[in-house]
Structure 1
Amino acid sequence: MLASKLIQSLKFKQVLPADYKDFVVSMVTQDTREVVENSIFIAIEGSQIDGHMLVSEAVQKGAALIVAQKKLSLLGVPVVYVENTNRAMAILSSRFYSSPSEAMRMIGVTGTNGKTTVTHIIEEIFREHGEKTGLIGTMYRRIGDKIYPTKNTTPDIITLQRTLSKMVEQGVSSVAMEVSSIALVQGRVWGVDFDIAVFTNLTRDHLDYHKTMANYAHAKSLLFSQLGNEYRHQGNSKVAVLNIDDPMGRRLEEDTAAHVLTYGIKNSAMIKASNVVIHSQGTDFDLEVFGQKQHLKVRMVGLFNVYNILAAYAAAYAAGLDSEKIIAALTNFKGVKGRLQLISSPSGVSAIVDYSHTPDGLLNALETINDFAKGKVFCIIGCGGDRDHGKRPKMAQIALQYSDYPIFTSDNPRSEDPQAIIDDMLQGIPQQSAVKVLLDRRAAIQYAIAKAQPKDIVLIAGKGHEDYQIIKGRKNHFDDVEEAEKALKRRGAF
């Protein structure tokens, strides 16, 4: 695409000099490492690095045009001045990659907990329906069966548009995508044409960024308020899928102009679960869809997973998929790595690895385990460094109240002192409480599994699918599942 044609998509701009020599654009990027000959480099003012300080480097590497919001010195290449380079980046990347989201069914999932599980269930449903699918989220980006690494739950807008373009090229028809609150505030999904938006729940998280729950709630609402304001006649209008048991779900009904499809367990909902029975091998419940009832047996454990299943069913239902095929996919779904992942052994000691890194997530995991545990419950838990300090004592109190043996350890300390994180967790905990502190996570896992008796369960919480631990800014390989298996083997369990 010619540069002149591409920058026409920026409605309000100043181009200096106006009579620059046109060229075919090879790349649009905000990362100097990606710059090649005839690139357009967009200077983004970030929290740590200001891209305006890197434009000379970009030009040296071959950038033929700069997009900026601050005055720059003469560079020998044209500069397009705009009010907001983040918005310009969203517009230019969408145009450069030919608005790929418009060519696929886009399903965005937001909420504090459940995003990863819901997107994986949705992907499985559409796969079972015979479609080629795409998935974007916390664990990875996946196109069909091929997996690509990811840095954030929701990628930056250029990486996102590039990924969606690749999905279109490879014949993907439906995409399930996690949409984080931070991405929504930062405009990382501007230009993405979502067809269905799913809300899971709202509990405390990311307050290190949002500062208040009101700000956090507003961030989540953006996915629904931006969902579209028209009612198409061909039956493919936008749909908001809302958890009506969460107070935020009620509020979102007012924030969106889209069609609303509700789900829940406690309150009256269009799609509802009742008669829920939880056991160690799965969950049984009655699924009611607009009054029509059918009994389901699923392999996923816990009440919160019933909500995840309802959310995914509702998204597929909103897309017009056959109910029987949806249910068939649900009954076959085995779960997601690091989400209440059971590691059993002949000794009778079991370990469960779960990505419960919020107070609500930890409470859900422990309540679920207590529903079917026949012995004692151990809880290994830490809190991430450089993140919300306020949730640390809450996590500790939940571990103390809902487990028999709470063990506090390191999660990802990042740049913080691990002991300082533990000290925050211990605030408000009675000194006489039977809390074991082991800063070394591997030692904590080995200790709990060695101490556990037959029928006991060891919950290893907080990191889930992650295969690393960040200590003093360094990323080291560490996998809770691997460590649990080694510890079980060491005590003669395998």
Structure 2
Amino acid sequence: MLLRELLEAVDIRAAGGNHDVRLKGITYDSRKVRPGFLFVSIKGFKSDGHDYVGQAIKRGAVAVVMERELELPPDIAWAVVQDTRHALALLSARFFGDPSKQLKMIGVTGTNGKTTTTSLISSILSSSGEKVGLIGTVHNRIGARIIPVSHTTPESTDLQELLGKMIVEGVGACVMEVSSHALALNRVDGCEFDMAVFTNLTQDHLDFHQSMEDYLEAKLKLFKSLNLPGDKGIIKCAVINADDPAAERFAQAAGGLIYTFGVKNTADVYATEINVNARGVSFNIGGKLGSCQLNLHLTGLFNVYNALGAFTAAAALGVPQEIIKDALENVQGVPGRFEQVDAGQDFTVIVDYAHTPDGLENILKTARQLTRGRLITVYGCGGDRDRGKRPMMGSIAAKYSDFQIITSDNPRTENPAIIIQGIIEGVLPLVQKENYLVEQDRRKAIGLAISMARKDDVVIIAGKGHEDYQIIGTEKFPFDDRREAVLAIKELRGDKMD
């Protein structure tokens, strides 16, 4: 593609050089530049891409897009735009052939439940005969092919390239987790969404968003995008959790059709006769999009909401009810989401990604219902992240647990002891010292919980879920809560280690 053709996608403030140069690629990372590439200079949190323009040119960049004019070699084409993040998204979409315009695009946003909801919608669409692409926290997927992830929602160039591959491989629909970071940082600009699903909104990421209103506004961008004209001939649709206090804000922002789901408030799709047990949850669905009984292998009230959101989305897309029901009932679980670890022990061990106050409360409420013995909780909070949620997490764990072990999550560059002290501020008003302990080493903390568990106890290991690493300082180390739990159980029984 010629640079001139590509730049038609953005508003240019100033430009120079030969815009008839043919581009072989586009990137925002100077280390990934190859001969013939366009380099887009983005201001990051720790570095500024404008400082790496020289490096990009040395590696073969033939054109540069930037926010301020720089002195460049005369043979380098250039353009200045107001916002290079926004421009990167639009340029990337154009470079890879505007793939979202050729896909049925379903975006799911919210604090909790995104991963499970996207997984459920993907399963339903696959069962209906559609080849589905999935973009999310656990992994990306094209049909049955798994692709590793680094962000919940990829950077815009990586996202558009992935969507382009989906087109090549015959994908018809893409279900995507859309994070607030991605929305705020313009990563999904250039994507044409046909449906937006809202799960819930509770405190998280306030280190980045600064306030709940700012966090909410970021989420609303996905629903506001439904008001933009599209070329697919599809009526755009919003699916909204009616029980969330922010539901009305999302309804006001959305374009196209609006469907709501819920348990407590009046909704278009609702659940009744909910029965939660250790094996799963059963309930009846009613409302304007159909009615049926569901018996899920997933448990917990929070999964009632996830299933309702998926049912509503699929029904609104025209998937027959019997296919939706069969698909939901056939889902055995989602990695790291209330995932049971069974190594032959006579107590229950559950690993969950819960790393927000609301997420932790949801899983502990469910675990409390299922516990005949004691509820033992292992958890921590991430470093370099929202400090305000730490005492909230502590008070929630204290409220529902019989015993808690406070440990490290991903401490990153923060001192784990300082993170833990923030958690303890929420613990101390509610429990005695003998009802909790601190063990900074997460491996040892899991081992302690397993060693003290007795028949009918439930051990919850919260915070990391599917993650197979731990971030200490700026490095990632191999670490999987599920594997550590299995090893601890085997050690307790004296089994030989694998």
Q: TM-score, normalised by structure 1?
A: 0.96
Shift of 1:222: 0.9
CA pair 39-229 structure 1, distance change in 2 beyond 3 A: closer
Shift of 1:247: 1.2
CA distance in 1: counterparts of 2:9 and 2:416, whole angstroms: 49
Q: 1:474 aligns to what?
A: 475
Q: 2:169 aligns to what?
A: 170
Q: Which amino acid aligns with 1:283?
A: V
CA distance in 1: counterparts of 2:100 and 2:237, whole angstroms: 16
Shift of 1:317: 1.1
CA pair 156-26 structure 1, distance change in 2 beyond 3 A: same
Q: Which amino acid aligns with 2:128?
A: H
Q: 1:330 aligns to what?
A: 328
Q: 1:255 aligns to what?
A: 253
> Residue 55 of structure 2: SS of its match in structure 1?
helix
Equivalence map 1:192-207=2 (5 Å): 192-207=191-206
CA pair 86-424 structure 1, distance change in 2 beyond 3 A: same
CA contact (8 A) 2:121 2:313 kept: yes
Q: 1:353 aligns to what?
A: 351
Shift of 1:345: 4.4
Q: 1:26 aligns to what?
A: 24
Shift of 1:484: 0.6
Equivalence map 1:18-57=2 (5 Å): 20=18, 22-57=20-55
Shift of 1:173: 0.6
CA contact (8 A) 1:108 1:177 kept: yes
> What residue ranges of structure 1 are gaps of 5+ in the alignment?
none
> Residue 310 of structure 1: SS of its match in structure 2?
helix
Further displaced range: 213-222 or 106-115? 213-222
Q: Which amino acid aligns with 2:354?
A: S
Further displaced range: 177-186 or 81-90? 81-90
Q: 2:444 aligns to what?
A: 443
CA pair 232-3 structure 1, distance change in 2 beyond 3 A: closer
Which deviations, in whole Å up to 9, do the C-alpha atoms of 1:203-228 show, x marking residues without a partner?
00000001111111111111101112
CA contact (8 A) 2:192 2:230 kept: no
Q: 2:155 aligns to what?
A: 156
CA contact (8 A) 2:241 2:260 kept: yes
> Residue 183 of structure 2: SS of its match in structure 1?
helix
Equivalence map 1:234-249=2 (5 Å): 236-249=234-247
CA distance in 1: counterparts of 2:56 and 2:124, whole angstroms: 44
Q: 2:466 aligns to what?
A: 465
CA pair 47-231 structure 1, distance change in 2 beyond 3 A: closer
CA distance in 2: counterparts of 1:379 and 1:229, whole angstroms: 46
Q: 1:392 aligns to what?
A: 390
CA contact (8 A) 1:349 1:449 kept: no
CA pair 231-449 structure 1, distance change in 2 beyond 3 A: same
CA contact (8 A) 1:56 1:75 kept: no
Shift of 1:289: 3.1
Which deviations, in whole Å up to 9, do the C-alpha atoms of 1:392-448 show, x marking residues without a partner?
111011111101011101101111111111111111414733211111111111111
CA pair 374-52 structure 1, distance change in 2 beyond 3 A: same
Q: 1:10 aligns to what?
A: 10
CA pair 481-231 structure 1, distance change in 2 beyond 3 A: closer
Q: 1:418 aligns to what?
A: 416
Shift of 1:180: 0.5
- Aligned pair count reads 491
> Residue 164 of structure 1: SS of its match in structure 2?
helix
> Residue 246 of structure 2: SS of its match in structure 1?
helix
Q: Which amino acid aligns with 1:129?
A: S
Q: 1:383 aligns to what?
A: 381
Which deviations, in whole Å up to 9, do the C-alpha atoms of 1:275-328 show, x marking residues without a partner?
100000000101113285322111000000000001111111121111110110
CA distance in 2: counterparts of 1:92 and 1:447, whole angstroms: 52
Shift of 1:488: 1.2
Which deviations, in whole Å up to 9, do the C-alpha atoms of 1:55-81 show, x marking residues without a partner?
111111111111111120132312111
Q: Which amino acid aligns with 1:244?
A: A
CA distance in 1: counterparts of 2:147 and 2:230, whole angstroms: 36
> Residue 335 of structure 1: SS of its match in structure 2?
coil
Q: Which amino acid aligns with 1:113?
A: N
Match of 2:56 among 33, 52, 58: 58
CA contact (8 A) 2:11 2:81 kept: no
CA pair 29-397 structure 1, distance change in 2 beyond 3 A: same
CA contact (8 A) 2:138 2:149 kept: yes
Q: Which amino acid aligns with 1:191?
A: G
Shift of 1:340: 0.2
CA distance in 1: counterparts of 2:248 and 2:81, whole angstroms: 38
CA distance in 2: counterparts of 1:168 and 1:493, whole angstroms: 52
Shift of 1:268: 1.3
CA distance in 2: counterparts of 1:59 and 1:406, whole angstroms: 54
CA distance in 2: counterparts of 1:175 and 1:425, whole angstroms: 38
Shift of 1:230: 5.3
CA distance in 2: counterparts of 1:40 and 1:233, whole angstroms: 30
CA contact (8 A) 2:2 2:19 kept: no
CA distance in 2: counterparts of 1:443 and 1:116, whole angstroms: 29
Q: Which amino acid aligns with 2:257?
A: H
Q: 1:123 aligns to what?
A: 122
Which deviations, in whole Å up to 9, do the C-alpha atoms of 1:217-247 show, x marking residues without a partner?
111111101112559995x210000000001
Shift of 1:126: 1.0
Q: 1:142 aligns to what?
A: 141
CA distance in 2: counterparts of 1:99 and 1:423, whole angstroms: 49
Q: 2:188 aligns to what?
A: 189
CA distance in 1: counterparts of 2:48 and 2:345, whole angstroms: 56
Equivalence map 1:206-245=2 (5 Å): 206-229=205-228, 236-245=234-243
Which deviations, in whole Å up to 9, do the C-alpha atoms of 1:325-381 show, x marking residues without a partner?
011000001111110001234441110000010000000000001111111110001
CA distance in 2: counterparts of 1:85 and 1:74, whole angstroms: 18
CA pair 241-292 structure 1, distance change in 2 beyond 3 A: closer
Q: Which amino acid aligns with 1:64?
A: V
CA contact (8 A) 2:156 2:187 kept: yes
Percent sequence identity is 44
CA distance in 2: counterparts of 1:231 and 1:385, whole angstroms: 41
- Runs of 4+ deviating beyond 4 Å: 229-234
Shift of 1:257: 2.2
CA pair 378-2 structure 1, distance change in 2 beyond 3 A: same
Q: 2:432 aligns to what?
A: 432
